[in-house]
């Protein structure tokens, strides 16, 4: 499927994937660097990796090293401008170390031909690569810093669901405002071309209804064009779940005026948290598509701490050994669950001391988070049976013994 300049969407077994139709040229990056920064000496540009939507380049000149992230135009201009404003807001309103933006271009108006952000190259390695080697106090210190960040965001609430942008009349970023949402679900595949509201949303009900409409359009397209019986059956099941969820939207999310929201980095994974060799937090990266979301959604543990509870410490000798004599993979899987269970408790205790209001929202919002999880997975065949069973309990007015998230983990 043809997308914007530079990107095609390719349908795979697991859904749509973005593909670059052309690569940025190092010579063009060097030319823009010299023009933008008037660098007198040669700069060295090296490709260092890529993600689903970006290519990363290290830019070195003199003793300085910067990171240029060049993006596919999946949500032209909006994704770049929102991320720049978000990084500015986080730097100004929290103590979390995040990259400083040196320059950016949210159009294709220079020789590079893609949107880009030039930022400080942050030190450290992904937490995932250091986890086993760092001390327990270091792990607690990281979690404590993330709790401080959550508290600082809770204290700086907004009145709409969406993304933050520079005020067009104040391009110096001194004034920021919430506008249309930049979210993967809203631009993935052909979603950018669909006539669905993109906000800013004034309520959770509006936001979730728009997301369900996107899933509905996907399923209806399958029924129109696909002859695969399994695909058609899954699409019909998705439509039934969507209708059931819509019936309960006002019940779970009654509209009571404008809703309070806060920034929430929903991908605080170990890959996006950088630490030094001793486990000291050096940066949190990957702030694209970070939105102001309802408090019930935002007041939850960081993503890397979420998962199955394991309160009993795994005993290494009870597990088999790998070929090199170390404990096997199952032990380490259970050990991580045990550590994350302890750290979740530690995080919540810190939040209780820092912001009781955050804890009150967290404790009272499980039903809303379950509904959101059902909406998020309404087109996932592996979740159909569990979501239907959860909806049965809702409609029969049963008080579920377990939330949907707990059921899906089983």
Q: Is the pLDDT of residue 400 over 70?
A: no
Q: What is the pLDDT of residue 4?
A: 72
pLDDT band (50, 70, 90) for residue 203: very high
Task: Report percent pLDDT > 70 for the chain.
Answer: 96
Q: What is the pLDDT of residue 334?
A: 95
Q: Does domain 7-120 have CATH number 3.40.50.300?
A: no
- 4-41 burial by CB neighbour count: b if 16+ within 10 A, else e? bebbebeeeeeebebeeeeebeeebbbebbeeebeeee
Give the Cβ contact number of residue 85 at 10 Å.
21
Task: Report percent pLDDT > 90 for the chain.
Answer: 80
Domain parsing of the chain, residue ranges: 7-120
Average pLDDT (218-240) is 96
Cα–Cα dist 173/167, whole Å:
7
27 touches 46 (CB < 8 A): no
Q: What is the pLDDT of residue 174?
A: 67
Q: Is the pLDDT of residue 125 over 80?
A: yes
Q: Is the pLDDT of residue 399 over 90?
A: no
Half-sphere exposure of 63 (CA within 13 A, CB side): 0
Average pLDDT (213-226) is 96
pTM: 0.92
């Amino acid at each position: 499927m043809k997308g914007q300049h530079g990107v095609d969407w390719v349908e795979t077994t697991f859904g749509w994937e973005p593909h670059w139709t052309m690569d940025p040229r190092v010579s063009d990056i060097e030319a823009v660097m010299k023009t933008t920064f008037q660098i007198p000496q040669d700069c060295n540009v090296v490709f260092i990796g890529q993600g689903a939507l970006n290519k990363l380049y290290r830019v070195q000149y003199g003793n300085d090293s910067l990171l240029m992230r060049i993006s596919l135009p999946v949500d032209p201009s909006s994704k770049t401008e929102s991320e720049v404003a978000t990084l500015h807001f986080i730097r100004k309103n929290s103590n979390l170390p995040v990259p400083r933006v040196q320059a950016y271009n949210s159009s294709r108006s220079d020789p590079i031909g893609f949107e880009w952000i030039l930022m400080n190259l942050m030190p450290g390695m992904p937490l995932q690569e250091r986890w086993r080697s760092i001390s327990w106090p270091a792990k607690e210190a990281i979690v404590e810093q993330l709790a401080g960040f959550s508290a600082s965001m809770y204290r700086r609430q907004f009145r709409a669901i969406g993304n933050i942008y520079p005020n067009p009349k104040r391009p110096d970023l001194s004034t920021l405002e919430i506008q249309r949402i930049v979210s993967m679900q809203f631009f993935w595949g052909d979603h950018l071309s669909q006539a669905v509201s993109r906000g800013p949303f004034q309520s959770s009900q509006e936001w979730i209804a728009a997301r369900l409409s996107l899933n509905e359009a996907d399923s209806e397209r399958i029924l129109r064009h696909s002859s695969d019986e399994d695909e058609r059956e899954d699409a019909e099941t998705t439509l039934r779940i969507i209708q059931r969820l819509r019936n309960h939207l006002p019940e779970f999310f009654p509209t009571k005026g404008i809703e309070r929201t806060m920034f929430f980095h929903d991908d605080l994974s170990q890959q996006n948290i950088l630490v030094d060799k001793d486990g000291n937090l050096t940066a949190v990266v990957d702030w694209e598509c970070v939105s102001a979301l309802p408090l019930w959604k935002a007041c939850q543990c960081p993503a890397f701490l979420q998962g199955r509870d394991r309160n009993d410490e795994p005993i290494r000798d009870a597990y088999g050994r790998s070929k090199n004599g170390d404990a096997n993979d199952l032990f380490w899987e259970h050990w991580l669950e045990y550590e994350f269970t302890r750290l979740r408790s530690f995080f919540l205790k810190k939040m209780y001391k820092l912001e009781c209001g955050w804890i009150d929202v967290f404790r009272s919002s499980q039903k809303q988070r379950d509904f959101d999880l059902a909406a998020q997975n309404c087109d996932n065949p592996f979740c159909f049976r569990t979501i239907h069973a959860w909806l049965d309990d809702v409609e029969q007015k049963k008080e579920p013994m377990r939330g949907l998230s707990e059921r899906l983990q089983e």
